[in-house]
A and B are shown apart, each in its own frame.
Chain A
Amino acid sequence: MMDTASEADHKLNVFALPSQTSIIFGLIVAVLLGTVFAGSIGPSPTPLWPLAIGLLLLPLRELLARPEREFARYGLSAAGDALDDLQRFVENQAKAIGLRRTPKLVVSSDKRLKQPYTFGTFRHWYIALNHEMAKKMQEDLLNPDVVPQVEAKLVHELYHFKTGDYWQLGYARELLRITFLLMIWAATFLCGLGFLLLIAAPDFVSFDFVEQLNQIETLTPEMREMIIRIMPSQAAIDQVRQKAAEINLSLVINFAVSATLPFVIIGGLLRGFFWPKLWRMRELYADAGVVHTQGDVKPYLSALTGIPLTFMKRYPSVLSVGQETSDKQTRQIKNRIKDQWRKVCEMIKHHPEPPTRIKCVKDPGHVFDPWFITALLVGSLALLLDILLSSPLTLLYVGSWPMHFSTLMIMVIVALSIIPPIVQGRPVWTDLVKIVAFAMILRLGWALLTIGLLVVLLVLAPGVLDQVLAYAVAATAHFAGHSEQLGFDDLTAFVIKAAVLNTAQVFIIAFVLVSSLILVAFLLRRLLTWYSLPHASQRLMKIAYGIIGVEALCVGLAVLPLLTTMLLNPADLLKPITIGVAFLSLIITAISLLLFLRADKQYAMRCPVCGAEISGTYRIGKSCNTCSELLHPWLTVRYKV
């Protein structure tokens, strides 16, 4: 243990801050489930609510079924009496870190199982091991020099249960898999149905059932009469025939493909890049759990590298400050390109690179992404969401404000991501602006690309543009297959209006985002000065989430709808529903602000022990100038580096 309590000794407690694993998990779920729920609101020729319910519940079901699949996959079985000592060790460690249940050890002789891993449902947890490895671990428990290494590996696995990432990953995995399968199925089924209707419709329209029935000589008049009575009336059949004649079935097929394809592509992108990121993030938290529990990095390093602990213990500072002996500029261009390529390849790996893991243990602030990575994450996801929400399933229902869902998502994620730098006392204003600017540049790029295409077509081939637009509108859920007579009266006016409105929306939303995030940052920084808040370790972060939630409510229900309505349909501004919803959200925001100010007056800037006034903003490791009490000790952790 460190003898002197200095700021340098206090490390950021990553578990006290918003979990990055949960944020990425929330993103994946929000993109997939959120868009389907958005599409299931309101009328649609295709009932979407069963799909929404299915996508919500089926992954849960598959999560419950996961243990039996894992048992079958590796031929796992319960550890048995021979490994009682190891099981007891696991139980003790589980209790030590505060787990509410003990995972069961299960073993296998399958050579594919090279490392311990965890899986489970909400109430049944398992740690799977190779039989040989389990025996070795149990033997190692008798050697005091090696016990910390064994403990490090097991505590790492136990922390997956502690943080809950085992069920988050389980659910996200099944959601991605089921979305992909469901969309492939839907596309195959709808295309087949479309082709069938395409081929059968002419026959159906011209088919005279009564005449066919009369040609069957084997039927008696009474049987004929009975069958005719069972069949729908002629008027009803004529009505159906008329509707069938109006349907443009090629548009139905177009709708089927354009409704499902975006989900397949975006599901694929989520699976390809965000899914491995989720895996990598959880490992960093589990590593942090190990060093928090053991109070020392050496057992973790020993477990990671295989270097025996006895060798490591000879040296007091294994993770000493590194020396940047090489000027990176002198590295050859070829090597630098290779480095960048390696970084790209690392994006699809399930584990962070060992240097990254060690860096995060040495300085937990590295667990949280720098502004550029956050910008890339939110920007790319927002763009994917915008594209997904433009698909036929959802465009009409979010057509009035297509950017709002993604805007709120950016707001919430960025607000959560600025909490760690605020806790570390770093300025966040420039990072905020850069992140929003990056996300908006991506959106602007997309908007300009589509507008550019419209303009080019308008100039070079207006007839083609007219057809394309009519086709696109007809392909939406509301019109799917009903009519292709959806021409535009004034194409030029439409293109100009679309260009102006879409471009304006990007800048307006950028301004709204930056303003609201600066306000959130200010409030969060102020919140962190509530040193005398009772039970701050349990309440402070909840209040932070509350601030972000109220801000999102205000922006989502008042600011954005009002601005968009003003831009697109000024006449709708005076509608009671518009005013009502905006007013309600402003009332909630005002009340929340009053409560915040009241609590701020009570708890801010005062030492919880001696009551002395503490000036300045909070940064990790800050203590009272009068009594040297460490402020917000729950935000810090100390372990030997």
Chain B
Amino acid sequence: MKRPGCTRWLTRLAWALVFIDLLYIFLVPADQSFDNVALLVVCTVWIIFSPILASTWLMIRYRSFFRTWPGWITPIVTLIFSMMVSQGVIPIHQPNLGFFFTVLSIVSGWAIGIATIILLWYRDVGLGLIGWAAVLIVWVMMFAWRFQGNLMEGLILALERPNGELVPLWWFGPLTCVIQCIVPLGIIGFLGHTVRLIIREWCTHNPSE
């Protein structure tokens, strides 16, 4: 078990990382060219992985929020919004801001997984999540097909786009991300809680006291 002092330092480090990344995103010009390939690689890896690591720790640290339903929905909403920006649905003319939302969409996608793990660790809602996720997919696709036309064609056409943009199917990315998190984690969560309940039933002392 980590000592409280260690936890505090890690939290401060995580916030510091977040601050540094924000500084980088907003101060370095978005169209900055790199002569050194190694530097480019390092910066790319840094800008992707450091916010992921920082957000992972912060979510664990503030897990009491993320084990609630509003907490779980927060990264999903963030992903949807940042995808809308990065896909051009909400136009933004500031390149650094655009870059910020692109990084945010990557981090949010990861954060959904962490939030789902935290939620499922504390709450036995795996089966319900999977079930209602299936309902969500079906109804979203139904409305999308109704108002946006043939989705099969749309997805194939999206392959032709130079930047891999999905507009007008921008919602497909967040939906896929959410489902990819929910289904496997939901199954693991459901089975895990079931095993836990069975083990606890056969214990002499019930740890729920």
Contact = CB atoms under 8 A, between A and B. Distances in A.
A324 interface: no
B138 A189 contact: yes
Nearest to B140: A192
A207 B135 contact: no
Interface in A185-221: 185, 188-189, 192-193, 195-196, 199-200, 203-204, 207, 209, 212-213, 216-219
A77 interface: yes
Query: What size tier do the contact residues of chain A reach?
Result: 20 to 34
Contact of A207 (B152, B198, B206): B152
Contacts of B193: 65
Contacts of A68: 208
Interface stretch (B78-86, B100-108, B141-149): B141-149
A77 B207 CA distance: 11
Contact of B209 (A104, A188, A199, A213): A104
A276 interface: no
A441 to B, nearest CB: 42
Nearest to B146: A199
A86 interface: no
B142 A192 contact: yes
Contacts of B156: 212-213, 216
A212 B153 contact: yes
Contacts of A67: 206, 208
B35 interface: no
B142 A195 contact: yes
B134 interface: yes
Given A199-B142, A199-B145, A207-B150, A192 B197 contact: no
A196 B142 contact: yes
Interface stretch (A120-128, A382-390, A580-588): A120-128
Contact of A185 (B132, B139, B201): B132
B134 A121 contact: no
A123 B208 contact: no
Nearest to A76: B209
Nearest to B193: A65
B135 A64 contact: no
B34 interface: no
A367 B208 CA distance: 37
B159 interface: yes
A58 B156 CA distance: 41
B31 interface: no
B86 to A, nearest CB: 21
B202 interface: yes
A213 B135 CA distance: 30
Interface in A40-77: 58, 61, 64-65, 67-68, 71, 77
Contacts of B141: 196
A78 interface: yes
Interface in A91-127: 104, 106, 121-124
Contacts of A219: 159
Interface in A369-413: none
Given A189-B134, A189-B138, A196-B141, A78 B209 contact: yes
B194 interface: yes
B124 A218 contact: no
Interface centre among A58, A203, A217 (most CB of B within 10 A): A203
Interface string B147-190: 00111110010011000000000000000000000000000000
Contacts of A104: 206, 209
A308 B49 CA distance: 73
B58 to A, nearest CB: 26
A67 B201 CA distance: 10
A192 B201 CA distance: 39
A216 B198 CA distance: 54
A199 B124 CA distance: 36
B11 to A, nearest CB: 28
B29 interface: no
Given A68-B208, A192-B139, A193-B138, A218 B159 contact: yes
Interface string B24-61: 00000000000000000000000000000000000000
A526 B21 CA distance: 89
A209 to B, nearest CB: 8
A64 B208 contact: no
B95 interface: no
Given A61-B194, A65-B124, A185 B153 contact: no
Contact of B145 (A58, A77, A189, A200): A200
B124 A192 contact: no
B209 A192 contact: no
Most central of B141, B149, B160, B206 by chain A CB within 10 Å: B206
Nearest to B197: A64
Nearest to B142: A196
Interface string B58-83: 00000000000000000000000000
Contacts of A216: 156, 159-160
A61 B192 CA distance: 12
A106 B198 CA distance: 22
Contacts of B138: 189, 192-193, 196
A71 B208 contact: yes
14 contacts: A58-B127, A64-B197, A106-B209, A122-B201, A124-B201, A192-B135, A196-B141, A199-B146, A200-B151, A203-B149, A207-B150, A209-B152, A212-B152, A212-B156
Nearest 9 CB-CB pairs, A to B?
A192-B138, A196-B142, A78-B209, A64-B197, A203-B150, A192-B139, A68-B208, A124-B206, A195-B142
Given A195-B142, A203-B153, 14 more contacts: A61-B197, A64-B201, A65-B193, A67-B208, A71-B209, A124-B201, A189-B138, A192-B142, A193-B138, A203-B149, A207-B150, A212-B153, A216-B159, A218-B159
Interface of B: 124, 127, 131-132, 134-135, 138-139, 141-142, 145-146, 149-153, 156, 159-160, 193-194, 197-198, 200-202, 206, 208-209
